[in-house]
Amino acid sequence: MFETEPQTYTEQVPINESIEDMWTEDGVPFDHDGDANTPNITPQKIHRKTTNFVSGYDTVTYEKQVPILSADGTPKVKSLIKKSGGKMNNKSSSNSGGKSSGGGGGGSSKKADKKKKKDVVDRYKEVTDSIDDNTKAMTRASKAADGLYGVARIKNMKKVNDLLKNEVDLLGKKRKEALGYLAEDKQALNDAASKAGVTLEFDADGDISNYTNVMTGLYNQLDAEIEKANADSNVTEEEQKKIDEIQEKIDNLKDAMADYEETKSTLFEID
């Protein structure tokens, strides 16, 4: 069960028309009323031929309900899960909905959020700073060359060339770092997939080739548990726990995918 929204579509529809041609055995044409277009000709046996053609196009607009996609491109799953007491609460993969209340006064069972190192530490700060400094120096040297001549200009252009070589070396260093991080991110991604009970496949470019099937299967699994919980008058702690566990596995997998794709993008920019 997916969330949907109306979407407007516009199409060009052909306008079909036809023309009937008439002529005699002598080849004398007739108009559409059957009168000979050539005077003083005795009509003989008339032959008819109908020609179909497209005279133009009409624009047709209509609406159609289509699934609403999440940021990762997967359809948003929508369902209703009942609260204790019979009230309904919206529950989907994008909305945790209401949870059955636990016992009194024991404090919140919510886990403390743990920030990932990559969200706090810039992986490429040192090498990026060096690249930026080198680029600025190269820009200044190139501008200075415009006002120099002879030996001074040759020396300046050698400086620019040395800075350019240094830039290539720095980019190579950043690429090596990114390749190391890519291996780490891919391992973390496979670990998250394993915990979610799925296996990811990668093509020659390193892209996930079975992404749609994997994510659709996980969301179907989540929706099935929600549907199961809906069958009861109250949501038990066990049912809620199972739903939360599946949702957490999906979220962790999506986070790992985002880290992996970000590192792949960094490599693409360097190359």
Residue-range definition of the domain harbouring residue 162: 78-96+124-270
Q: Into how many domains does the chain fold? A: 2
Write out the E strands in the chain: 4-24, 29-30, 46-67, 78-82, 88-92
Do 153 and 63 belong to one domain? no
Task: Give yes or no for residue 257 having a pLDDT over 80.
Answer: yes
Do 83 and 25 belong to one domain? no
Do 54 and 86 belong to one domain? no
Domain assignment present for 103? no
Do 160 and 256 belong to one domain? yes
- Cα-Cα-Cα-Cα torsion 65, 70, 75, 79, nearest 10 degrees, comes to -90
Q: How does pLDDT run across 114-141, given as a tens digit for each residue?
A: 556 556 678 999 999 999 999 999 999 9
Do 51 and 83 belong to one domain? no
Domain assignment present for 156? yes
Domain assignment present for 119? no
Do 60 and 89 belong to one domain? no
Q: Which residue has the tokens 């209340």?
A: 101
Q: How does pLDDT run across 148-171, given as a tens digit for each residue?
A: 899 998 999 999 999 999 999 999
